[in-house]
Amino acid sequence: MIENRAKHTALIKAEAKRLGFMSCGISKAGFLEEEAPRLEKWLEENRHGQMQYMENHFDKRLDPTKLVEGSKSVISLLLNYYPGEIQKEGSYKISKYAYGTDYHFVIKDKLKELLHYIQSEIGEVGGRAFVDSAPVLDKAWAVKSGLGWMGKHSNVLSKKTGSFYFIAELIIDLDLDYDTPVTDHCGSCTACIDACPTQAIVEPYKVDGSKCISYFTIELKEAIPEAVKGTFDDWMFGCDVCQDVCPWNRFSTSHNEPLFQPNPKLLEYSKQDWEEITQEVFSEVFKKSAVKRTKYTGLLRNIQFLKE
């Protein structure tokens, strides 16, 4: 039985690598004891702003066995999205994760393939794939699986690859060999806290989601408050400041996922080009992009807010 566990674990990790995932770590499915009080306090302090969905399924968020019946293992996977080229200097900026095809589609296909492989190689294995679309605490599982530590900016950090990657999970009803967490290597560094334009990192390891530029430009559906005018540093969709200044991201290397390649216009456009963007061009440039989430009207609102 133990031999099987080791064999199955090695098979899964090798296939994850073949599918292009940068890392794969595995944890025993169960209640996230340390996360429970942290999440409860964060919600009580209203750090989630208008992201009401964060309040839903509290018990499932903390325990995958309530989400996937009979689950025994959480397979955490990282997929690199660090781009080879970035936007033109002095333009309005888009978070690097949204340059290419929406990651939900790209990763979901890879996860389905991985699950199919597990079922064909090992036998009858039940499970579900998760890509940031269900009440799963991705970062907590990545940390528990030894893929990195939780940085002071609340992104998962790895000594080898920094933090420019997506996190996804397969939760399955198969016992595997489990990985152990790594140590924290943030030390006394406060680069992310000092650089945050809206001071959303209220203390080390704690982000007030309702103060984050990503929240204002993506999640907030009404007018952006006047109080934060002049603090957005030209970010029109999302924000990468805390990751850009992190010393560990010096080790980021560009991805090799063709679907994450941006439309050339995204890299070439100047501020004036963005200010004159039409619905037609928006639909072309962001055809399958995560930017569609804010819609054309939302992006125009953000540009107008930066322009004034």
DSSP-derived letter for residue 158 is: B
Q: Classify 207 in phi/psi space as left (phi over 0), alpha (psi -120 to 50) or beta.
A: beta
For CA atoms 126, 132, 137, 140, the dihedral sign is positive
Element (H, E) at 188: none
Residues 6+ apart with CB under 8 A from 131: 103, 104, 107, 108, 111, 166, 168
Tell me if residue 132 is catalytic: yes
Active-site residue (options: 132, 184, 194, 273): 132
Q: Is 98 helix (H, G, I), strand (E, B) or coil?
A: helix
End-to-end CA distance of the chain: 65
Query: Percent helix, strand and coil across the chain, each rounded to 5?
Result: 45, 15, 45
Task: Report how far residue 241's alpha carbon sits from residue 247's, in angstroms, rounded to the nearest whole number.
Answer: 12
Buried b (16+ CB within 10 A) or exposed e, 235-266: bbbbbbbbbebbebbeebeebebeebebbeeb
What own/partner pairs with CB < 8 Å and gap ≥ 24 does 292-301 have? 292/102, 293/218, 294/217, 294/218, 294/237, 298/217, 298/218, 298/221, 299/236, 299/237, 301/223, 301/224
Query: Could you give the residue numbers annotated as active site?
Result: 132
